[in-house]
Structure 1
């Protein structure tokens, strides 16, 4: 009986189809490629923190605000822009958003003051606002449901890999050609990928791979869902709310450490800007690998027991909390970096399971809106406040002291996932019953 309920029966083709066509993987690769560009544009800033601090004599709070303003814009705008994308067309929306963040990154390269840079960074966030939710909605719509946690984890890991490239390449370019060229290089990558996506991915070519409900929606049917009905679909159960909250809070950990690791290595290990950025990129890469592995592990564990996605999310949060809490209290040296690295492997591991749980608990026709809500939670609860709050605390007790407090966010995330697990089985049974009644 448990195997019959491993995933909810949404009544869509996507939940029962088992084959995966080659074009689906092409779309996945290009969509992840744009996500890489997204995070390259976002995280190149962290690689040049020391240079900007010296150039404009900025405080840690100001530096943190340049990072947090992007996540703030994403958090504020992701939901309305994702709802519009569900109606206007997901592919067209993706192309427009990617073009905007690439041009805004170019704007960062020509900024002459902190204020100009802050405005340019805000427009980077506006461009990126709905990309994560719309991009993952496109990906999940053309793959079978059995791969949801794996695909969600891999897709979100693209953010980590993009951060690696942004920090490593940005740091290398900045070391040789200055921080302005670092931003310019990231902008060029985005523009090239936008052109490829525009020519290769179309709504017409996606339609045969998507469930019938999305095909009807693309044709103009079903786009008139009322706001009340949309909210009911997005917040229909306690467990989906817990998935939103747990995902958002636990992502404060990687966001804070990604933003401040180059500065941590620069200040406490005496590394030059380029070397600190390259070394910090390794930790981001480890995080990305952990997201892929943890997402796949959650799918495997939950084949015969649907609650095990929650158990996996809880375990990943607790493991990262313990390791990072210990690591940042150890004396500086290779052992400290190893312990922090292992903690980083698990620190975003709950991303895949939480994304899969949101997909399982919401109708496929509003998945872009559902993932927009998840993105909203991720940004407002975790990604947006992470860098600036860490900077505020660092201005008072030092960067090391601030980083020692960061792992407690993972503990809070684990509590949210635990509450969600207690309600998940009953919520899925109730949703399945409602769907069966609707079919009749």
Structure 2
């Protein structure tokens, strides 16, 4: 038998001694969500400080818009290269410890950006940061799926993935406001201590057993099962999907067969291409076309997108949990429609030459687009087996980061080609959001069958073939 947890264990994210059931919203408590939220928020803030400080950086070093886009593109490219190895590691080693080390390292790299004597050194530190701050994504997403059951995953992923947009907004504000008041170097330096404190919290977070929560639901959601030790290894009474992961080639072949994952990956890659390309340059657009100071431009754009995205992601998580199990492929239906509507409002926003109208339309676009944030990532957690979720989220983030890497560069290059017209570059990326919604909807017919197969495979003695009934079922 698998040995169960001792009474003397300590840390954050500890389950009750009597075990957990599949009926609880948070069987391991809410501390893991809070800590992983802080990790994601710090990650994005540190990355997007450069967006708010960009006019100040260009004023000091005099580089072009194309190079301004490369400040964001280079880190994302290196981060994309590191994602598949990061997924491999997160499926095989302690995920909470991995995240703690990565958060501490990227905080020190951010200090290097603040101390950079020349642009070349600054550029290298930003590139290294990209390789560091994407490593935590597969581990964090895999952990969330092991901490929280399917019925609350959309809400949980909504909060954590909200950090992407919230971090963009807060980081942009810090870069613009702190940079304008005290110099851009202080904008980067002020994030070092918070990052190290969050790394310490991650170190104290208890590692959950992979796939155990899925097994609880598959056996009997109403019956508490004691928690096995994370290092107890495979055992005859554990489900096949809960043991050690297969070889990486086998994992990648399995991931490719998950149709929901394929469609969602492409959709999110296209969405990120458009969103990051447009929103990265939005403060600069307000600075150039509406004569706002860097601090004013970064604050206005960030507060609008942050408030709308917070409300939209929370609403999207609630909506996705309601539609999950009651509407076929409900999470992906909500995501696809939200992306269509959000893309349409963004097209209207860029056509406005009045500041209030422009930002009002950006607010509506951010709200509807963010409905997809919790539902797409929760969908991936539902359709990928526990021992391959790290590599599954790595593939997803590889495509998402790749799309995000190209966005700022495309807008900057087109702007240079058309005499500094940022609007021209932004218009070029607008169709990506509409196409993204289409791809997400194409994954909808496969979702319920593939999600059910993960639960079926989590039973200690799974049947030889998944059930044929493809009607929506809450699991």
Task: Using structure 1 for the length normalisation, give the TM-score.
Answer: 0.89
| Structure-2 change in CA distance of 1:215 and 1:93 (3 Å) | farther
SS at structure 1 position matched to 2:409: helix
Alignment check: 8 A CA contact 2:211 2:458 kept: no
- Equivalent residue number for residue 92 of structure 1: 97
Deviations 1:342-398 (A, max 9, x none): 112223332222112211211022222211121112111x21111111111111231
- Equivalent residue number for residue 299 of structure 1: 321
Counterparts of 1:191 and 1:75, CA distance in 2: 24
- Equivalent residue number for residue 167 of structure 2: 162
Deviations 1:158-181 (A, max 9, x none): 122222221223322111110001
- Equivalent residue number for residue 468 of structure 2: none
Once the two structures are superposed, the pairs formed by residues 289-438 of structure 1 within 5 Å of their partners are 289-380=311-402, 382-397=403-418, 398-425=421-448, 427=450
- Equivalent residue number for residue 223 of structure 2: none
Deviations 1:110-150 (A, max 9, x none): 11222211210111112112212211221221111111122
Task: Using structure 2 for the length normalisation, give the TM-score.
Answer: 0.83
| Structure-2 change in CA distance of 1:76 and 1:15 (3 Å) | farther
Are 2:205 and 1:201 equivalent residues in the alignment? yes
| Structure-2 change in CA distance of 1:31 and 1:418 (3 Å) | closer
More helix by share: 1
Deviations 1:193-248 (A, max 9, x none): 212332x3133xx4599538795764344335122331233222322210111122
Deviations 1:69-89 (A, max 9, x none): 222222111121121122121
In our comparison, the structure showing a higher alpha carbon Rg is 2
Once the two structures are superposed, the pairs formed by residues 42-57 of structure 1 within 5 Å of their partners are 42-57=47-62
Alignment check: 8 A CA contact 2:335 2:372 kept: yes
Alignment check: 8 A CA contact 2:155 2:317 kept: yes
Counterparts of 1:124 and 1:194, CA distance in 2: 16
SS at structure 2 position matched to 1:202: coil
Alignment check: 8 A CA contact 2:244 2:387 kept: no
Alignment partner for residue 190 of structure 1, among 195, 205, 209? 195
- Equivalent residue number for residue 120 of structure 2: 115
- Equivalent residue number for residue 130 of structure 1: 135
CA RMSD of aligned residues (A): 2.5
Once the two structures are superposed, the pairs formed by residues 168-183 of structure 1 within 5 Å of their partners are 168-183=173-188
- Measured after TM superposition, the shift of residue 109 of structure 1 is 0.5
Provide structure 2 residue ranges, at least 5 long, that are not aligned to the other structure. 1-18, 216-226, 235-242, 464-475
Counterparts of 1:241 and 1:139, CA distance in 2: 21
Once the two structures are superposed, the pairs formed by residues 125-274 of structure 1 within 5 Å of their partners are 125-198=130-203, 200-203=204-207, 206-207=208-209, 210-211=212-213, 218-221=231-234, 222-223=243-244, 225-274=246-295
> When the two structures are aligned, how many residues end up with a matched partner?
423
Are 2:452 and 1:439 equivalent residues in the alignment? no
Alignment check: 8 A CA contact 2:210 2:387 kept: no
Counterparts of 2:447 and 2:24, CA distance in 1: 28
SS at structure 2 position matched to 1:24: coil
